[in-house]
């Protein structure tokens, strides 16, 4: 199965979305290599960066689900090329 490396950037403006967001991240945890979150209290939002190694359709599904949460913006940036797993 081919996988891709991607960085997902999230801007969270609605604190009510934190619980469903964390539930989604738990569901996709096997694909998440790292997570960094920074609360920006002066602007009442949080910035989260996820590093993912997963098949393209898994990354697309997670990005779409996150972006459909109220007050959450999600974008993915991909490393060039695919990795073929043995």
Parse the chain into domains and list their residue ranges: 2-31+48-80
d(CA 60, CA 26): 16
User: If DSSP codes are grouped into helix, strand and coil, which group holds residue 84?
Assistant: strand
The model's pLDDT over 18-53, given as tens digits with 9 standing for 90+, comes to 999 999 999 999 999 999 999 999 999 999 999 999
d(CA 16, CA 83): 36
Residue 9: per-residue pLDDT: 98
Q: Which of 30, 31, 35 is nearest to 46 (CA)?
A: 35
DSSP state of 1: -
User: If DSSP codes are grouped into helix, strand and coil, which group holds residue 15?
Assistant: helix
CATH classification (class only), 2-31+48-80: alpha beta
% of the chain at pLDDT higher than 70: 97
Would you place residue 86 in the very low, low, confident or very high pLDDT band (cuts 50, 70, 90)? very low
Q: What are phi and psi of 55, to 5 degrees?
A: -60, 150
């Amino acid at each position: 199965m081919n996988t891709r490396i991607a960085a997902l950037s999230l801007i969270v403006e609605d604190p009510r979305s934190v619980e469903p967001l964390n539930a989604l991240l738990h569901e996709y945890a096997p694909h998440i290599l790292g997570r960094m979150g920074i609360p920006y209290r002066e602007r009442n939002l949080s910035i989260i960066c996820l590093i993912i190694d997963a098949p393209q359709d898994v990354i697309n599904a997670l990005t779409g689900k996150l972006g459909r949460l109220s007050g959450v913006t999600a974008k993915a940036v991909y490393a060039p090329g695919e990795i073929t797993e043995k």
